Structure 1
Amino acid sequence: MAQTDEAFRGAGRASVVTGSRITLQIPDSILRMVAKPVPEAMFGSETLTRLVEEMWMCMIEAGGVGIAAPQVGISWRLFIGSANGILPSTVFVNPEVEFFGSPTVLGEEGCLSIPGWRSNKVPRYPKVTVRYRDMTGETRLETHEGLAARIIQHEFDHLNGRLFLDLDETPDADNALRRRVERAMTEMEERLNAED
């Protein structure tokens, strides 16, 4: 689906959530929390429209193909995705995902919340069906395979407090980035445990 002027009407404006267009990164503990459903009153609202605009800005400026609401500081079950010729620009509100096959298809992933970390050994299911609501509240049902299915699974994981590096099957390598990410993950887990 082509990008519309309306979808990017807020381009150039600072984030309504974070004050910038930078996504949250580990060790922000919200990334490990299970997100709550988008409230019914939000469908068709200006609040939801502005949040989605912010998410598009963050994703596009970072060169991503998807982003979830927790990555911009909102613990709602909402993510967006767009990849030319693979996944049309879509807003997935309160999605439910059904997985097909087994999670054995290895592929490359990175994450806007973990800059610099990429792995080509992240296992995913080959096919998914996703039931979700659009921004007006209409229910949609779609089936995706390949890279589109991978994008949906990656973003859906964010709604459940899971990051792609939890699945990364790359052999342990002693490098500065891995050590920095592991320290940040430990700090995040300690912060979450202290909040309980």
Structure 2
Amino acid sequence: MAQVEEDFPFGAAHASIVTGSRTTLQIADSVLRMVAKPVPEEMIGSETLRRLVEEMWMCMIDAGGVGIAAPQVGISWRLFIGAAMNILPSTVFINPEVEYFGEADVLGEEGCLSVPGWRSAKVLRHPKVTVRYRDLAGAARVATYEGLAARIVQHEFDHLNGKLFIDFDDSPDVDHPLRRRALRAMTEMEERMKVEVEDA
């Protein structure tokens, strides 16, 4: 435990690599609303980072997802992974920078491992993105994605900036129990974060 906490200083107490549960954090966890920090240079290419990425792959596969970001396993680093058959090759994005093309005017369906049960077909995204990132070995990469692959990249990149897909849902008046639960959890979490800041 101590070694893992030393390796992962941002939110390690909630990380699935600590609990071994292979479960992702839920919407009420405040780390999901934080702007993640860059992966430290000394960690890139390290065994520690490799272990974290392996755990992220296991979490994603177990949950049947197509992407997952480090904050979703409790590590507030700018890192996400994605894979979708015939759409997005298995890729590790370290310290990504995203360039958007076109207006965010493409509606599509999304769900999130951190907002279980809720899906929306009214999430607006850009039609195309270019991503500059480092791979697991530390090499600089550039890739351009369109369609569903671009949507996956945007969804996961948002996690690194404390955003969730429901923030971009273009159907704000929809009344659904899961939506109400998600919004209530967000409100409670934001109030808790405000108190933590005031007490600091």
TM-score, normalized by the shorter chain, greater than 0.5: yes
**4+ aligned runs moved over 4 Å, structure 1:** none
| Counterpart position of 2:165 | 164
| Counterpart position of 1:71 | 72
Counterpart of 2:123 in 1: which secondary structure? strand
Tell me how large the CA RMSD over aligned residues is. 1.2
Structure 2's unaligned 5+ residue stretches are: 1-14
Q: Distance in 2 between matches of 1:79 and 1:182?
A: 24
> Would the aligned equivalents of 2:16 and 2:74 in 1 still touch at CA under 8 Å?
no
- Displacement of 1:146 in angstroms is 0.3
**Identical-residue share of aligned pairs (%):** 77
> Would the aligned equivalents of 1:18 and 1:73 in 2 still touch at CA under 8 Å?
no
Q: Distance in 1 between matches of 2:18 and 2:48?
A: 11
Counterpart of 2:81 in 1: which secondary structure? strand
| Counterpart position of 1:140 | 141
Whether 1:60 aligns to 2:70 is no
> Would the aligned equivalents of 2:16 and 2:24 in 1 still touch at CA under 8 Å?
no
| Counterpart position of 1:40 | 41
> Would the aligned equivalents of 1:37 and 1:94 in 2 still touch at CA under 8 Å?
yes
Counterpart of 1:17 in 2: which secondary structure? helix
- Displacement of 1:189 in angstroms is 0.7
As a proportion of its length, which structure holds more helix?
2
Q: Distance in 1 between matches of 2:22 and 2:32?
A: 17
| Counterpart position of 1:81 | 82
| Counterpart position of 1:127 | 128
Whether 1:97 aligns to 2:98 is yes
Counterpart of 1:55 in 2: which secondary structure? helix
> Would the aligned equivalents of 2:134 and 2:140 in 1 still touch at CA under 8 Å?
yes
| Counterpart position of 1:181 | 182
Q: TM-score, normalised by structure 2?
A: 0.89
Q: Distance in 2 between matches of 1:104 and 1:55?
A: 30
- Displacement of 1:186 in angstroms is 0.5
Q: TM-score, normalised by structure 1?
A: 0.91
Q: Distance in 1 between matches of 2:176 and 2:100?
A: 34
Structure 1's unaligned 5+ residue stretches are: 1-13
Counterpart of 2:148 in 1: which secondary structure? helix
| Counterpart position of 1:28 | 29
